[in-house]
Amino acid sequence: MLELNVINREIAAEMAKMGHTDMMMIVDAGLAVPNSTKVIDLSLSVGVPTTLEVLDAILQYFSVEKIIYSKATREVSPTREKEFLRRFNENVDVEVIPHDYFRDEMTKKAKFVIRTGDFTANSNIILVSAGGPRWYCEK
């Protein structure tokens, strides 16, 4: 039985399928996701779990080269934007895009979406997979 790392079997399986530049999304309880995109629903009740709680668990085991979130996060939930940014160092690229594009297009491009119980408006983030620190680069 898996007792370390991400123990949710669906999330662990989907993370294992990801390669460099693939995208996963961690979203609030209300983001519309097309039926064609795999959704792993972790929502239990209002606020449980939050996107930040899920993000913190994922970041222990997942290398990120870029994050993407919508302008609506900045406009409607600026504290959440700061909380997202605080979790990444200066080597991680940040892209802020229009909310309609985030919702209508990026949800189709993600390998999978983790839906949370978060009711913080526009608490949605895309993680772009990196090669990680274990990769050998001569230069």
Please list the residues that pair with 113 across neighbouring strands: 25, 39
Catalytic-residue membership of 20: yes
- Strands 23-27, 125-129: pairing is antiparallel
pLDDT tens-place string over residues 9-46: 999 999 999 999 999 999 999 999 999 999 999 999 99
Question: How many Cβ atoms sit within 10 Å of the Cβ of residue 22?
Answer: 16
- Greatest alpha-carbon pair distance for the chain in Å reads 48
Under CATH, what is the fold of the domain 14-129? RbsD-like fold (3.40.1650)
Residue 117 near residue 45 (C-beta atoms within 8 A): yes
Task: Give this prediction's pTM.
Answer: 0.94
Residue extents of the structural domains in the chain: 14-129
pLDDT tens-place string over residues 78-119: 999 999 999 999 999 999 999 999 999 999 999 999 999 999
Both ends of the chain: CA-CA distance in Å? 40
Residue 86 has which token pair? 């605080």
Catalytic residue among 7, 9, 12, 20: 20
